[in-house]
């Protein structure tokens, strides 16, 4: 049965607050876009972290959110492109690489690296 919930999105960078009614069977990002809001996104498939938010209150479901580990989901992070509200919710946007760094930052920058152009070719 389709229900409607109030979704409030607080933009961490601008301080703006967006609030809309969202159907429980629709993705939150898509519903906000239909109503003219411009929110961050990239893949629209739950694989990257461009549309990541931090839950303040409420509940949602996001089974397709492959781009966020279960540990981060347990801490309240979600991806709006594949999230559906299951109650009234309030979320806050994250900084561009916040979730990516939380998830992968411990693995990068530890090894021996060298500065090189993106495409380095050795001449024969």
- 33 lies in a domain? yes
pLDDT of residue 98: 87
Give me the chain's average pLDDT, please.
Answer: 88
- 119 lies in a domain? no
Q: What CATH number does the domain containing 15 carry?
A: 3.10.20.30
pLDDT of residue 105: 76
The pTM of this model reads: 0.81
- 100 lies in a domain? yes
Q: What angle do CA 76, 81, 82 make, to 5 degrees?
A: 70
- 38 lies in a domain? yes
- 111 lies in a domain? no
- 122 lies in a domain? no
- Structural domain count of the chain: 1
Strand (E) or helix (H) holding 34 = helix 28-34
pLDDT digits (tens, 9 = 90+) for 3-60: 999 999 999 999 999 999 999 999 999 999 999 998 988 988 988 889 999 999 999 9
Work out the percent of the chain whose per-residue pLDDT is above 70. 85
Residue range of the domain that includes 93: 4-104
Contact of 62 with 78, CB cutoff 8 Å: yes
pLDDT band of 81, cuts 50, 70, 90 = very high
pLDDT of residue 120: 58
């Amino acid at each position: 049965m389709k229900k409607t919930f109030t979704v409030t999105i607080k933009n961490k960078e601008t301080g703006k607050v967006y609030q809309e009614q969202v159907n429980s069977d629709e993705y939150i990002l898509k519903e906000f876009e239909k109503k003219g809001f411009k929110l961050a996104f990239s893949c629209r498939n739950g694989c990257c972290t461009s549309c990541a938010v931090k839950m303040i209150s409420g509940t949602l479901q996001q089974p397709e959110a492959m781009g966020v580990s279960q540990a981060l989901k347990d801490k309240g992070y979600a991806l709006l492109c594949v999230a559906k509200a299951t109650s009234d919710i309030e979320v806050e946007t994250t900084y561009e690489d916040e979730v990516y760094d939380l998830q992968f930052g411990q693995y990068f920058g530890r090894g021996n690296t060298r500065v090189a152009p993106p495409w380095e070719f050795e001449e024969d």
